[in-house]
Structure 1
Amino acid sequence: MSFFSEFREFAVKGNVVDLAVGVIIGGAFGKIVDSLVGDVIMPVIGKIVGGLDFSDYFIPLAGQTATTLAEAKKAGAVLAYGSFLSVLLNFIILAFVIFLMIKQINRLKRETPAPAPSAPPPTPEDVVLLREIRDALKR
C-alpha cells in the first residue's frame, strides 16, 4: 500500500472527519463565548465595580507610565491581569456550557428504554415430542 493511499484511508475515516467538524464548531463556539464575555459580561461587571474596563488592568514591569495596556506593551513588559481575568471567565463559561451539554447527553442516553423482557421462546417441536415419549415410557 503506498503512502498516499494509506494517508487517504486514514483521512477519510469517520473519526478524523468527526474530529475536524468538532474543531471547526468548537472554534466558532469559542468566538461566540469570547464575544459574550468581552462585549456583554465584562462591561456589566466593569459598570458594577465603578465603570472600569478590565481589559486595561495591568501592572507595568518596565517602569512605564502609560495609561492604556496597548501603550504600556509598546513601552515594555507588562503583567496584563485584566486580560487574564477576561480569558479566565471565557474558560469558565465554556467549561460550564460543555459540562451542561455532556450532562444532557448522558441523561438522554440513560432515558433510552431498555428492551422489555420478552416471553421465553417457544419450545421446539422435537423437544416437545421427546418429552412426550419420555413421559409415555415412564408409565
Structure 2
Amino acid sequence: MMGEFRDFVARGNVLDLAVGVIIGAAFGKIVTSLTEDLIMPVIGFVTGGVNFTNKFVLLGAVPESYTGSQTDYAALKAAGVPMLGYGAFVTAVISFVLMAFVIFQIVRAANKMAPAKPAEAPAPAGPSEVDLLTEIRDALKKA
C-alpha cells in the first residue's frame, strides 16, 4: 500500500497540483490585501470616506448586554447580532473579479507562449468503398 501511495504522490500531476494550490493560496492573500488595503480605501475616498467593511443592515435587535459601538460590524457580528454585511460582500466580489482577471491574463499569456499545434495531416487517400467491393467481387469470382 505504501508503494502505491508513493507512486501516486510521485506522479507529476499530483506534485503540480500541490504547487498550484500553495501558489494559489499565497496569490489569494495578495489579492485580498490588494483589495482591502489599496483598492477599497481609494473607493472609500472617492465616495466621501465610506468604509465598505462597516456597511450592514441590522436584521434583529442588538442584545441589551452589548456595550460596543452600534456601527462596528465586526463587534456586532461577534456578539451574534443578525445582520446582512453587504459591505464585506462587495469587498469579496471585487476581490474575486480581480483574481479572475489576473488568472485570465496569466492563462492568456501562457496560451500565447505555448507552441502552436501543427495542422493535422489529412488522412491518407485509400481505396473507396466501390473499389474495395469490386476487389472482393473479383476475388470471389476467382475462387
Q: Give TM-score, length-normalised by structure 2.
A: 0.72
Secondary structure (helix, strand or coil) at the match of 1:63 reads coil
1:53-132 correspondence to structure 2 within 5 Å:
53-64=51-62, 66-73=70-77, 74-110=79-115
* CA distance in structure 1 between the aligned counterparts of 2:103 and 2:51, rounded to whole angstroms: 28
- Percent of paired sites with the same residue: 45
Once superposed, which parts of structure 1, at least 4 consecutive aligned residues long, lie more than 3 Å away? none
Quote the RMSD (CA, aligned, Å).
1.7
Higher RCO structure, 1 or 2 (CA under 8 Å, sep 6+): 2
* CA distance in structure 2 between the aligned counterparts of 1:96 and 1:75, rounded to whole angstroms: 35
Aligned length: 111
Unaligned runs of at least 5 residues, structure 1:
115-139
* CA distance in structure 2 between the aligned counterparts of 1:11 and 1:109, rounded to whole angstroms: 27
Letter of the 2:25 partner, please give it.
G
1:118 counterpart residue number: none
Shift of 1:94: 0.3
Shift of 1:109: 1.9
Shift of 1:25: 0.5
Residues 17-65 of structure 1, C-alpha deviations (whole Å, 9 max, x = no match) = 0000000000001000000000000000001111011000011111238
Letter of the 2:48 partner, please give it.
G
Which one has the bigger helix percentage?
1
* CA distance in structure 1 between the aligned counterparts of 2:20 and 2:114, rounded to whole angstroms: 20
1:22 counterpart residue number: 20
Unaligned runs of at least 5 residues, structure 2:
63-68, 119-143
